[in-house]
Amino acid sequence: MKDFISIIKFKKLLATPLIEPFDNSAFGFGYHSQNNDYKILRLRSVYIWIHRGVKVRPAEAEIYTLSTDSWRRVVISVESFCGTGPNESVDSIESSLCIFFNGALHSIAYSRDHRFILSFDVNDERFRKILLPPNYLVGVSVDTENLAVFKGSLALIVFGQDVAENSNICHIWVMKEYGVVESWTKRSVPMAMGDVEHFFCCTINGELLIEKYGHTQSLAF
């Protein structure tokens, strides 16, 4: 086991120029291994309030680099994970936190008429699309869904109600081979513990740290 040392330091960042009071944002913190540097990614869903409703513009992105102590704006142009097919823009970001795994930051995004995992490689700064499990919401009334790292793999954790059984359930979708949609596997766990309000993280031992309505607890798998 590696030893980790806290240097007990913090840094106050410069304000990002794109912050607006009513926009939704997702943040992610990642390590740039090629340059021994750190980066923060901010993804911003852009909503314009008009007379008869809300208009959505393509999402925007900023990157903060520790070595330069500065923010810069980047264009979100998403390619498929294998690098084929036309690039596309992103309409909105549905996660508030980007998960760092395999050198990239991941969040759930929405583009046109479909949802997918938006991957941002911290080293080459390219956005890529990873498909979610096919029909993973069929038969489930979702309370919350979150990306996580589960026992060394990228995972999608879904809490909700099994419509057929009328009972609480947790679906753990694990991507056994990174970037390969066919490698998604599901484990379903019935839950007699009530509705889940928040999911926090997975521990290295495979426990899920969650908050029910009322108190926080962990589930072991």
pLDDT tens digits, 188-198: 887 765 667 77
- Joined together, the tokens standing for residue 178 give 């990174």
Q: Which pTM was predicted?
A: 0.83
Higher pLDDT, 220 or 112: 112
What pLDDT is recorded for position 212?
A: 72
Say whether pLDDT at 84 is over 80.
Answer: no
The tokens describing 104, both together, are 């990239």
Give the bridge partners for 78, in sequence order.
88, 127
At 172-183, the pLDDT tens digits run 999 999 999 999
**Domain-wise residue ranges, the chain:** 24-130, 140-220
